[in-house]
Amino acid sequence: MQGKLIIFSAPSGAGKTTIVKHLLKKFPQLSFSISATTREARGAEKNNEDYYFISKEDFLHKVAHQEFVEFEEVYNGTFYGTLRSEIERMWNEGRHVIFDIDVEGGLRLKRKYENDALAIFVQPPSLDVLKERLAGRGTDSEEKLQERYIKAEKELKYADKFDIILKNYDLEIACKEAEKLVGDFLASR
């Protein structure tokens, strides 16, 4: 069976991971698409839960074997990708799939799956707030932070290409709005 896809995209630091985790608790029929990445695990992140942390060699091997539905070099030298096997496994279990993915990857999935996909852009109050949140995490070096800021600035311009822009000015309100959007989408068709 083909299930649905719920795509959350935004620059890192916009709060999409927190919103996605909230939705996973609220909707038992949803499963998180665990992406593969070549970056190192951060803080409390767990392999096979937050990401499949794999080597660049392994990643490129999977690219060559067309194992990704989309992948990207999100940051210089650091790859992220959605595995076809991940989506199919969940659909075969009768579940819908939720994604926490960068803006270009999100739009690529939307183009591929069209009406089976709901693409939501999480909008932070401003670039300055985003910068504060990223710096406050304290998990990235100054150089990595700069790279994230530059990417964030670019990504904010893609908002209106998404089905919906979800403002995250207050996390509790944003989580409630996300619940409504996802509930309606899952109930449709």
**102 scored as a contact of ligand 5GP (CB under 6 A):** yes
Residue 141 vs 188, nearer CB to ligand 5GP: 141
Burial class (CB in 10 A: 0-12, 13-18, 19+), 91: middle
Burial profile 114-145: b = 16 or more Cβ within 10 angstroms, e = fewer: eeebbbbbbbbeeeeebbebbeeeeeeeeeeb
What's the closest the beta carbon of residue 13 comes to ligand 5GP, in angstroms?
8
Residue 39 vs 95, nearer CB to ligand 5GP: 39
Residue 82 vs 182, nearer CB to ligand 5GP: 82
Between CA 119 and CA 122, with CA 120 as vertex, the angle to 5 degrees is 150
* DSSP letter, residue 50: T
**86 scored as a contact of ligand 5GP (CB under 6 A):** no
Q: What is the CA radius of gyration of the chain?
A: 16
Residue 143 vs 187, nearer CB to ligand 5GP: 143
**101 scored as a contact of ligand 5GP (CB under 6 A):** yes
**31 scored as a contact of ligand 5GP (CB under 6 A):** no
Kindly indicate which of the ranges 77-85, 87-95, 129-137, 158-166 contains the residues binding ligand 5GP, using the contact rule CB under 6 A. 77-85
Q: State CA 188 to chain mean position distance.
A: 22
Binding site for ligand 5GP (CB under 6 A): 12, 35, 39, 70, 72, 74, 80-82, 100-102, 105
